[in-house]
């Protein structure tokens, strides 16, 4: 079969691969503890589900404008004002079929063949493929763990070329949980403001933030930077609505218009019922978010404390998201490593370790190489306290066998 060059550049998502293997084992009755989840383990709150049911009963089941219903657009404008102190016009926002689709749309309308997009590593798995699918080239900006995985402005400056079209800033980050302060964003923006580069601020984990840190994004820095920034967000993570597929973006009216044209000729509108549910999510009493954050915060403390007690593991405490990204490079030097390396030959170290943990202790984690960093693995704390405690005990036993 002959396929397009575009699709041949893309590999299946490694996070989905390990989750599929874990699910396979679960289906066979094996007691797997899953630290791979990329979604909150809570149900969508009832008022949001009720709004969707009401929408169905009221016949909101037909096509909507490609960029979303006006009621939802207005709620998004209010949300930006309320939570981010950002003012947009209704022509400067659009609704897409999930945050991933927002990024996909953006890349499709912005990039020509060979245009470069700067992607700080460790990065969310979907950024490079989405750029490649649009004919662009992901330029990976390495960060280091000693610097808490934060972008070095000097390094950033050194990789900008005449082909650089955009940069993605994801704070809080998937997979590291790293969250940028105003000063750190300011230092990055000092480099970017002199350049003709679009800043894509992926704020999908905005509300999952700890240690009394205040969320801030690039668009907050100045009117000049706001003009260069497209802010992406969605309801998936904040309201436990991953399956509803609603994302949105705000920024330059000309960009938004092109995204709506593309969407009108591809997916048409985002699901009408989900749009009414998202409207409810953005406008109900937002204290349900702090309840979820408090729970995640407790689990974060347990998980990072326990991880740091495992031989060969060192884990930074994430300030945001629901992920930890422990460094496991010392494990690769353990006496028993050679034998498992032999068993899972031709794989990256983080894949070998993840496979070993799944086979040996029925624990699913995501290999760091999926995020561009083979020295780490990703564990999500979208798992119950009991599972975190039991799961870490199992990992510890498996690793102690290798020491
Ligand atoms: N951005 C980041 C960093 C993510 O981790 C995800 C989901 O995992 C998304 C965007 C997209 O989420 P969704 O498509 O569910 O809105």
- Distance from C-alpha of 390 to C-alpha of 261, rounded to nearest angstrom: 50
Q: Which atom of ligand 1 is nearest to the CA of 235?
A: 16
Report the nearest-CA residue for atom 1 of ligand 1.
204
- The predicted pLDDT at position 14 comes to 65
CA of 100 to the centre of ligand 1 (A): 5
Report the nearest-CA residue for atom 16 of ligand 1.
99
Q: What angle do CA 397, 399, 403 make, to 5 degrees?
A: 115
Q: What is the DSSP letter of 329?
A: G
131, 204, 235, best to mutate for ligand 1 pocket (most atoms within 8 Å of CB): 204
- Distance from C-alpha of 335 to C-alpha of 345, rounded to nearest angstrom: 17
Contact between 400 and 336 under an 8 Å Cβ cutoff? The reply is no
CA of 292 to the centre of ligand 1 (A): 18
- Distance from C-alpha of 113 to C-alpha of 207, rounded to nearest angstrom: 35
Distances from the Cα of 81 to the Cαs of 13, 66, 100, 201, in angstroms?
35, 24, 23, 16
Q: pLDDT of the chain along its 403 residues, tens only?
A: 999 999 999 987 767 777 788 889 989 999 999 999 888 999 999 999 999 999 999 999 999 999 999 999 999 999 999 999 999 999 999 999 999 999 999 999 999 999 999 999 999 999 999 999 999 999 999 999 999 999 999 999 999 999 999 999 999 999 999 999 999 999 999 999 989 999 999 999 999 999 888 899 999 999 999 999 999 999 999 999 999 999 999 999 999 999 999 999 999 999 999 999 999 999 999 999 999 999 999 999 999 999 999 999 999 999 999 999 999 999 999 999 999 999 988 789 999 999 999 999 999 999 999 999 999 999 999 999 999 999 999 999 999 999 9
CA of 103 to the centre of ligand 1 (A): 9
- The predicted pLDDT at position 108 comes to 98
Ordered strands of the 366-367 beta sheet: 323-324, 377-380, 366-367
Residue the block writes with tokens 């907050």: 220
CA of 157 to the centre of ligand 1 (A): 27
Report the nearest-CA residue for atom 5 of ligand 1.
174
CA of 207 to the centre of ligand 1 (A): 13
- Distance from C-alpha of 95 to C-alpha of 384, rounded to nearest angstrom: 32
Report the nearest-CA residue for atom 8 of ligand 1.
38
39, 237, 275, best to mutate for ligand 1 pocket (most atoms within 8 Å of CB): 237
- Distance from C-alpha of 262 to C-alpha of 265, rounded to nearest angstrom: 5
Q: What is the DSSP letter of 335?
A: T
- Distance from C-alpha of 123 to C-alpha of 324, rounded to nearest angstrom: 13
Domains and CATH numbers, the chain: 5-43+288-400 (3.90.1150.10), 62-283 (3.40.640.10)
CA of 205 to the centre of ligand 1 (A): 8
CA of 204 to the centre of ligand 1 (A): 6
**188-199 pLDDT tens trace:** 999 999 899 999
**CA 326: distance to chain centroid?**
17
**20-65 pLDDT tens trace:** 888 899 899 999 999 998 889 999 999 999 999 999 999 999 999 9
**What residues are in contact with ligand 1 under a 6 Å CB criterion?**
38, 98-100, 124, 170, 174, 202, 204, 234, 236, 242, 247
- Distance from C-alpha of 141 to C-alpha of 143, rounded to nearest angstrom: 6
Q: Which atom of ligand 1 is nearest to the CA of 99?
A: 16
13, 76, 97, 126, best to mutate for ligand 1 pocket (most atoms within 8 Å of CB): 126
């Amino acid at each position: 079969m002959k396929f397009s060059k575009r699709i041949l550049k893309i590999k299946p998502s490694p996070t989905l691969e390990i989750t599929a293997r874990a699910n396979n084992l679960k289906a066979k009755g094996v007691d797997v503890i899953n630290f791979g989840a990329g979604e909150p383990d809570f149900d969508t709150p009832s008022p949001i589900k009720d709004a969707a049911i009401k929408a169905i009963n009221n016949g909101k089941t037909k096509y909507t404008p490609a960029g979303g219903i006006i009621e939802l657009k207005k709620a998004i404008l209010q949300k930006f004002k309320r939570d981010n102190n950002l003012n947009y016009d209704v022509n400067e926002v659009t609704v897409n079929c999930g945050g991933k689709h927002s990024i996909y749309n953006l890349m499709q309308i912005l990039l020509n063949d060979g245009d470069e997009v700067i992607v700080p590593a460790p990065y969310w798995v979907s950024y490079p493929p989405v750029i490649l699918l649009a004919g662009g080239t992901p330029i990976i900006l390495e960060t280091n763990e000693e610097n808490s995985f934060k972008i070095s402005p000097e390094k950033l400056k050194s990789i900008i070329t005449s082909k650089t079209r955009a940069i993605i800033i994801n704070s809080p980050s998937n997979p590291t949980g790293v969250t940028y302060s105003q000063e750190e964003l300011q230092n990055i923006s000092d480099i970017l403001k002199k350049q003709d580069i679009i800043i894509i601020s992926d704020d999908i984990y905005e509300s999952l933030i700890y240690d009394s840190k205040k969320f801030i994004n690039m668009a907050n820095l100045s009117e000049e930077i706001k003009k260069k920034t497209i802010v992406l967000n969605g309801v998936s993570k904040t309201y436990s609505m991953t399956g509803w597929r609603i994302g949105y973006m705000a920024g330059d009216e000309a960009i938004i218009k092109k995204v709506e044209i593309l969407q009108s000729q591809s997916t048409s509108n985002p699901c009408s019922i989900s749009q009414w549910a998202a409207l409810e999510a953005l406008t109900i009493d937002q204290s349900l978010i702090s309840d979820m954050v408090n729970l995640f915060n407790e689990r974060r403390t347990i998980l990072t404390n326990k991880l740091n007690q495992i031989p060969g593991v060192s884990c930074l405490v994430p300030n945001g998201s629901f992920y930890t990204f422990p460094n496991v490079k010392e494990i690769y030097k353990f006496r028993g490593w050679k034998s498992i390396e032999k068993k899972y030959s031709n794989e990256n170290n983080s894949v070998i370790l993840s496979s070993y943990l799944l086979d040996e202790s029925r624990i699913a984690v995501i290999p760091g190489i999926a995020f561009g960093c083979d020295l780490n693995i990703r564990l999500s704390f979208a798992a119950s306290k009991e599972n975190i405690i039991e799961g870490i005990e199992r990992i510890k036993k498996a690793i102690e066998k290798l020491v």
